[in-house]
Amino acid sequence: MIFTARMMKIKLVLPILIFLLVSWASLAADYTWFSAATTTWKNSRRSEFLGGQLPTAILDSLDKIYEKSPHQYIVYELGAKHYVQVRCTFDLYEIQGDKLVNKYRYFNRGYTCGGNYFVRDSTHHILGGHGFWTNHLDLLAFDELHGSWELVTTKNQPIDYFSALVYQNSKGIYSLFGEVYNQRKDLDVKNSQGYFLDWETKEWKELELQIEGLDLNNLLEKGGLYFIQTQDYAFCASTNGLNNIGWNLIEKETGKIFFYDSKNVDMALGNYLEIVGNVLTYPAPSGEQKTLDLDEIRKKSKEVGFVRVKEAASFGMNYTWAYGLFFVVVAIGFLLVKKILPKKKAEELTLQPSKRFEPIELLLPYSGQLLTTEALDQLLGIDDQANFDSRRMKRARLIKDINEKYFDQAGTELIVRDKKPDDKRYVYYKIQA
């Protein structure tokens, strides 16, 4: 009887467990991404994309908006919704059934040409861009409350640098190769390695990249790399004929680089590209629809290299020992200066007010106070700018400059963003002199 009762309980519980597992699997959405340019997608003669989540009515609507100035559309998923970003603009559309709702409320153009679009921390981001005269690696985050893009301050940001070969993993953002370009400074230098943005610290660090039997400078000279990312891989395709270059996969979490001997870039030539998980769907030049499963390609590939963050220390030391030694040396130096130099000399070493950066002087009297955005804008002299979005960008750049200069003087940042516990919708700025 006991055995029979237990069997009955199992029979009752099992369907519930199966239901929960199926429900969980359905909620665990794959990485989805779609790219097409104005009107070109129509050559596919498909009635929908992304398994029905992207109806062609949406693409028709986009074509009408950008009919006179064709652009490339990037469609991706955030939560249970799909969004469209349009290259070389700030436009960000939410797809609501067969309708498009532009979340961006302003009218700025440019600055984001070639930018890399991604989602992180449930927020839309754009990284980098280029123009006629300069490159940049600025990180922008979308402000849902104001419908605007906001500059995210990062440390050690490479100047005048841009790369389209960007992917992310759980630790941060990787930007490979790239180019330092600024016509005003007569700069045009290719980078054979790259940079990594540590997402937790928002600090840029140098990357180290190696591929067996390949001089990376030759790869930069020949070029011709097509690049995308999928759920688990950064995928490169090339026909330049170099050793261990063809179809290359970078495992995003491990940094291992794999080579598969294939000599076509069909996925770069189609009228659209659809990615679900690690599977690519695209039309070949012949018009035939192709499907490429990168998990299967990975199984047939050989490991040929790696990409990783450079070790900071020389003399064979790791990060911990390097930082420890640095702080010990600084502490000893500070004690020696304090003990040896006369008091008068030490006083001369303190920065005189007349030599301070002018905006710093304006903010010092407000030490310990929380300033509203409007109050800070008045102090910085940018409250007369009518365009709200331009004012936000100007504010972000000024805060970055002020904090860098004040850090050099006092060893800390002067302006810190803060939110009141009772109302986290609004941002305040704390002055901590």
Helix (H) or strand (E) holding 74: strand 72-78
- Return d(Cα 369, Cα 375) in angstroms, integer: 11
Report pLDDT for 43: 83
pLDDT of residue 333: 62
Both tokens of 181, joined, read 């370009």
**The dihedral formed by the CA atoms of 120, 392, 155 and 74, expressed in degrees to the nearest 10:** 30
DSSP string, 46-81: -SEEGGGTEEHHHHHHHHHHTSSS--EEEEEEETTE
Total count of residues recorded for the chain: 433
pLDDT at position 412: 87
DSSP 307: E
What are the tokens at 208?
A: 């180290």
Residues of the chain with pLDDT below 50 are 1-3, 5, 9-10, 12-28, 313-320, 341-356
Contacts of 85 (CB under 8 A, 6+ apart): 73, 74, 76, 91, 92, 93, 117, 124, 126
Q: What is the pLDDT of residue 331?
A: 62
Give the tokens for residue 63: 């074509």
Q: Alpha-carbon distance 288 to 347, whole Å?
A: 77
Query: What is the predicted pLDDT for the residue at 350?
Result: 38
Task: Give me the pLDDT at residue 204, please.
Answer: 97
Structure tokens at 373: 């955005």
Q: Tell me if 57 sits within 8 A of 303, measured CB to CB.
A: no
Place of tokens 């998980």: 277
Tokens representing 145 are: 């409350």
Q: How far is residue 212 CA from its own chain's centroid?
A: 28
> Using the 8-state DSSP alphabet, how is residue 241 labeled?
-
CA atoms in the 13 A half-sphere facing the CB of 166: 24
Structure tokens at 196: 């990594």
CA distance 258 to 80: 33
Are 229 and 235 within 8 A, CB to CB?
yes
| Residue 5 DSSP code | H
Amino acid found at 382: I
d(CA 115, CA 44): 26
Residue with tokens 């200069």: 405
409 contact partners, CB below 8 Å, separation of at least 6: 351, 356, 360
- Angle in degrees, 0-180, between the axes of helices 373-380 and 388-410, rounded to the nearest 10: 70
Question: Pick from 44, 35, 38, 50: which is nearest to 81 by CA?
Answer: 50
Find all residues with CB under 8 Å of 39, minimum gap 6, and list them.
Answer: 63, 70
Residues 290/281, Cβ–Cβ less than 8 Å: yes
Could you give the CA distance from residue 229 to residue 166 in angstroms, rounded to a whole number? 8
Task: Please tell me the predicted confidence (pLDDT) of residue 384.
Answer: 67
Locus of tokens 């050793």: 243
